Amino acid sequence: MIQILPAILAETPEQFKQMVEKVSPFASVLHLDTSDGVFTDTKFIGPDVLASSPANIEWSAHLMVQNPENIILSWLDLPNVKRIIFHIETTDPALVHKDGVNKTQEIIDTVHNAGKEIGIALNPETNIEAVEPFMEQVDFVQFMSVHPGQYGAEFLPDVLNKVSDFHIKHPNVKIAIDGGVNPERIPAMQKAGVSIFISGGYIMNSDNPEKAIAELKDRFR
């Protein structure tokens, strides 16, 4: 199923409230970008603010944080968070805890044990080989086609080649793309194998978010 997820990128509770009010009438599932100010230059709101969002909104929480295993429980406690995305760059698959479990595996198991979906995100420069060991366990892979941390970052078209290569190798794995999603790019993204389109700036900077979402959907084949 094809999905358009409006992305919320807010530094304050006030910004968050305004953005949610702007797009929630036109989308029942929203994507929240959160950051600790370490993995990206800017710190964005966390689970304490999301807890105040309307109960009828379903959320995907994109954790742009170092050591996500240390804070993941605070997100899993929120009933309207249905899926978690963490970055493979924030965990070292070779790093094993004293109990013999590596960090990436620990995050996947923790999220699934809570009954929620799990996705792994890759930054533009990260090779798809980094996520290969976990393809049988994750619900989707999210490709960043911009450097994360702001609306309107430069779209990096070479990422679509990586998406296409991944889709050929793993045709049954759902693919999300985050960054530079607009009507002109939708066809190429879909052709590469994307089925989940995360759109921040195009929707949030529009004076008419309902129209912006419709324009994106109109480009689906």
Q: What is the model's pLDDT at position 94?
A: 54
pLDDT at position 194, please? 98
CATH number at residue 32: 3.20.20.70
Are the CB atoms for 212 and 202 separated by under 8 Å? yes
Q: Which domain holds residue 35?
A: 3-217
Q: What residues contact 57, with CB distance under 8 A and at least 6 apart?
A: 20, 24, 28, 29, 30, 80
Kind of pairing, strands 81-87 and 58-64?
parallel
CA 79 centroid distance within chain: 18
Distance (Å, whole) CA 70 – CA 206? 36
pLDDT in the model for residue 91: 75
Number of structural domains the chain divides into: 1
Spans of the chain below 70 pLDDT = 92-101, 149-150, 152
With tokens 């990436």, the residue in question is 104
Question: In the prediction, which pLDDT does 100 show?
Answer: 56
Q: Give me the numbers of helices (H) and strands (E) for the chain, helices first please.
A: 8, 8
pLDDT of residue 95: 53
Closest CA to 51 of 38, 32, 26, 35: 32
